[in-house]
Homo-oligomer: A and B are copies of this chain.
């Protein structure tokens, strides 16, 4: 009873009783199918009494509109494609969650495609889902700018964490969190820090690096640059030599994964964190508080980013003339101080 191997006997596919159509409802209510269609999708267009009769008939027959049949004449599927580079990257979880939430709120369904970090597969996946979705959200696209622009011409499209000329994008404001992080380190007495770069061709990596470089001087800090390296645990881990060689007392890593990898490597080498090396990550991913010490990090409002991206895409689709900017709260990053930062050891 506990855990016998899943029995090999598959249960046969249930005969899907074919669903009621508007014709059935029409017959039951004694009206024309077109009237049923209107009763169900254009409230007020027809007489209240007939509408009620139709509603009742539909309920009786347990009628459900066939989305495919509707999509044919209208060209609208009430479906949104979400293209993500790598489901395994924990930063996506929150994005997906926010996206899912906003989509269901507006009656849309999410179609998921993973490109496994490959631009080619991503283009392929985009082609595959494009004809059956009303819009597309690209989460951390590996596509070139012009490919993205082409895609944007073919339908509503929103990119997350990247800016492409002429394409809608949702990007958080990096400066607030980075300023806080730098101020925090300055306060702790650090004067020489390093930015540990992620992938060289990543728009977000460049943005983060530039913000750090731009804001450091005003805190009286010198910034060395280390990397680029893979945005993974191992990428961070491998950077330890360079970090030690650079002689800095604190590191701002491109993302949490690298920060955690670096922390591990430092500890394995006998360095104390934060005693001898302070480390700050980026994103505040799931698990960044599992480490000892817990990771100090610049949180990105991932959930709200996903939500906003979907909202934008849906506004485009519904031709809502761009939600008044006033209602959209800015997407701010914010420093979360935990245990991996401290004052420099005497």
Contact = CB atoms under 8 A, between A and B. Distances in A.
Contacts of A71: 68
Interface stretch (A7-15, A185-193, A244-252): A7-15
A138 interface: no
A156 B5 contact: no
A13 B68 contact: no
Given A72-B69, A88-B286, A174-B3, A11 B93 contact: no
Interface stretch (A27-35, A108-116, A219-227): A108-116
Given A6-B331, A156-B14, A287-B290, A131 B322 contact: no
Contacts of A88: 93-94, 97, 286
A144 interface: no
B96 A87 contact: yes
A109 B128 contact: yes
Contact of A14 (B67, B125, B152, B292): B152
Interface string A142-159: 000000000011111100
A24 interface: no
Interface stretch (A52-60, A234-242, A311-319): A311-319
Contact of A13 (B170, B171, B175, B319): B319
Contacts of A312: 10
A260 to B, nearest CB: 6
A10 B322 contact: yes
A344 interface: no
A210 B2 CA distance: 6
Contacts of A319: 13
Contact of A2 (B10, B110, B207): B207
A125 to B, nearest CB: 8
A175 B2 contact: yes
Contact of A211 (B2, B5, B174, B211): B2
- Which 5 interchain pairs have the tightest Cβ spacing? A287-B287, A8-B325, A3-B174, A292-B292, A290-B290
B111 A16 contact: no
B168 A10 contact: yes
Nearest to A157: B14
A100 B72 contact: no
